[in-house]
Structure 1
Amino acid sequence: MSRFEQIQSREAGLHKKLNARQMSMIAIGGAIGTGLFLGSKFAIGFAGPGVVVSYVIGGFIALVLMGCLAEMTVEHPTSGSFGAYAEFYIHPLAGFLVRYSYWACIVLAVGTEVTAVADYMKFWFPDVSPWIWIAFFSAVLIVVNAYSVKAFGSVEYWFALIKVFAIIAFIVLAVGILTGYYKPAQVQQNLFGQGGFMPNGWYGVWVGVIISIFSYLSIEMIAVAAGEAENPEQAVRQAFKATIWRLIIFYILSLSLIVMLVPWQQLVADGTTSPFITVMQAVGIPYADSILNFIVIIAALSAMNSMLYISTRMMFSLSRAGDAPAVLGKVAKNGVPLHALALSASGVAVAAVVYAYNPETAFPVMIALSMFGALFTWGMIFLTHLFFRRRMAQDGVQLRFRMPAFPIGTLLGLIGIVAILVTTWFINIFHYTLLFGLPFLLALIVIYFVRGRRPAA
């Protein structure tokens, strides 16, 4: 048995119950979340209409990342995913850092989703305490994840389906309004009339890229879910091919329509929580804002559901690798690592504390805290891919799936992530990213060597 087969075998016990249809919708769900519906508002605040350029740059990095993951996942489908790849192709320390950084990132991101839901519910129930919504929705999704992986897949399938239909309906409606009621001069004024297309220059666009990366976070979930798929190779191939048009339609096209329909300063200044809702209110479509508010709640719950799943599997992988208490690697009869799920739900508690301290800044602060783990993990995926390709070339392995434009794409992705990570230090709302992330990474390294150094693969 090879070293990687040993890594795969130690993660046995999970049920392979996700079918191709569910896997495809999980991939869609990972690409449409709070980052699009709520995070885009913060990106517009920095980049103005140039937010479209921001999301194109971020989308390129995300697509290259998916290509790297698709190559490695087709060869090695396992729930440990990129953590296992880093352990095997770079060093056990790399796998340790990736798994813990990503787990912390996703656990904190769960908090961003639940605080977002609390904000969305204010639209209908302004006098109801947000604590009620945080507690209620958290309990429901924890129960769904605890029941079985099949239950998770079914719920996520319908969540994703609702989001897809909503985005398509929004795009059709927006195109109809633009072509039927808006004059070219009005569109031109919205795009270029308030400080220009890029009112804060390339600086604002680059900050928008940082937020776009958070928006795209979770597209890597398909690689983790492949460990519980009935046919992982087919699912990963389909997910990668479909990601291209999903990003173009769901992000680039919808954001382009938003900044065409409503002046960007109004999108930022409006009291509502999502630019999509602002657009519906601005064009005066009856009840459309309420319908869309329901959709963005579904999007946040879908993202939260997915993040509970993925953080649970990453902690399960850590335990099976001997890097976390053994109890977290135990699997119940229904195939769910319940102890790992309980620990991964702790992000809700963190979010509650941040929300209590300052409800107005809870969402951007949670983004900043989780951003380090996301950027570090993405950077390590690109680095691991370089090591993976070198090993494949040395062993003469013919890859069953090949990402185009290697190594240029991988190198550009890695450089982009490093540049974004450095930039966070100079932006006020992201100052917590490195302030929190670097000590956290240093602490992980110390813990790794204190507990005993493991041999490289």
Structure 2
Amino acid sequence: MAEFLSATIKCVLIMCFIVFSICITAGVGAGVGAKGRVGFHSWKDSGAFGYHSGRYLNNLNAADGIVYACDALGVAAFSYQGIEMVAIAIGEAHDYPRRTIPWAINKIFYRTLVIVILNIFLLGLVVPYDTLSLGRDPPYVVAVQLTGVPVLPSMVNAVLLCVTLWVANSILYSGSRVLVGIASRKNSPK
């Protein structure tokens, strides 16, 4: 029941953020104020694609661009931690594994495509790259802070703290299932 509740709250938060980001980008909301519609303002005017480490990218050579791209890929790969949970759950599939395993793998691909890529895109629209609070606050909290609604950042922080606890619960589950698998094959330390 706890996993169902945690997954539901995470999905509701993600869907709310998608709707929230679209509204802010379109110009709806308290924090838009004099700026009007945000649109692609963060991409065009702030220099997110043209400025890095005090130099403009058009003055960099190809090797610098590759280094920065690999650096970004390393940070983005962190988002995919925990995808091995599907493999652990598949190891215990007893009912129709030929049908359920491909179904689960396909669902992960499409959900990752929609949820992760869309959220990254919308965060890039809403939060300028040079926002000072990005160094200390999660990007979702920064996006909510930019609206100017005082209670929303605390609510998002509370949900993110709960998500962290639920991740610990998933790690505990996966660790125990791996130990059960090792012990059932008699490969555990004696």
TM-score category of the 2 structures, normalised to the smaller one: 0.7 to 0.9
Q: One-letter code of the match for 1:166?
A: L
User: TM-score by structure 2 length?
Assistant: 0.76
2:15 corresponds to: 168
User: TM-score by structure 1 length?
Assistant: 0.34
Q: One-letter code of the match for 1:237?
A: P
Percentage of identical aligned residues: 26
- The Cα offsets for residues 147-172 of structure 1, whole Å up to 9 and x where unpaired, read as xxxxxxx2212111111110111011
Deviation at 1:249, TM superposition (A): 2.3
1:192 corresponds to: 49
Deviation at 1:197, TM superposition (A): 8.1
Contact 1:194 1:263 in 2 (8 A): no
Moved over 6 A (4+): 196-200
Contact 1:258 1:275 in 2 (8 A): yes
1:259 corresponds to: 124
Q: Aligned pair in 2 of structure 1 residues 299, 197: CA closer, same or farther (>3 Å)? A: farther
Q: Aligned pair in 2 of structure 1 residues 232, 267: CA closer, same or farther (>3 Å)? A: farther
Deviation at 1:270, TM superposition (A): 4.0
Matched, 1:212 2:76: yes
Deviation at 1:227, TM superposition (A): 3.7
Deviation at 1:221, TM superposition (A): 1.1
Q: Aligned pair in 2 of structure 1 residues 269, 172: CA closer, same or farther (>3 Å)? A: closer
Deviation at 1:224, TM superposition (A): 1.2
Q: Aligned pair in 2 of structure 1 residues 230, 285: CA closer, same or farther (>3 Å)? A: farther
List gaps (5 residues or longer) in structure 2.
28-36
1:299 corresponds to: 163
1:250 corresponds to: 115
Q: What secondary structure does 2:45 align onto?
A: helix
Q: Aligned pair in 2 of structure 1 residues 173, 197: CA closer, same or farther (>3 Å)? A: farther
- Matches of 2:17 and 2:57, distance apart in 1: 23
Q: One-letter code of the match for 1:282?
A: L
2:153 corresponds to: 289
1:72-221 maps to which residues of 2 (within 5 A)?
A: 154-180=1-27, 181-190=37-46, 191-192=48-49, 194-195=51-52, 201-221=65-85
1:332 corresponds to: none
Deviation at 1:229, TM superposition (A): 4.3
List gaps (5 residues or longer) in structure 1.
1-153, 327-457
Greater helix share, structure number: 1
Q: Aligned pair in 2 of structure 1 residues 188, 301: CA closer, same or farther (>3 Å)? A: same
- Matches of 1:197 and 1:232, distance apart in 2: 52
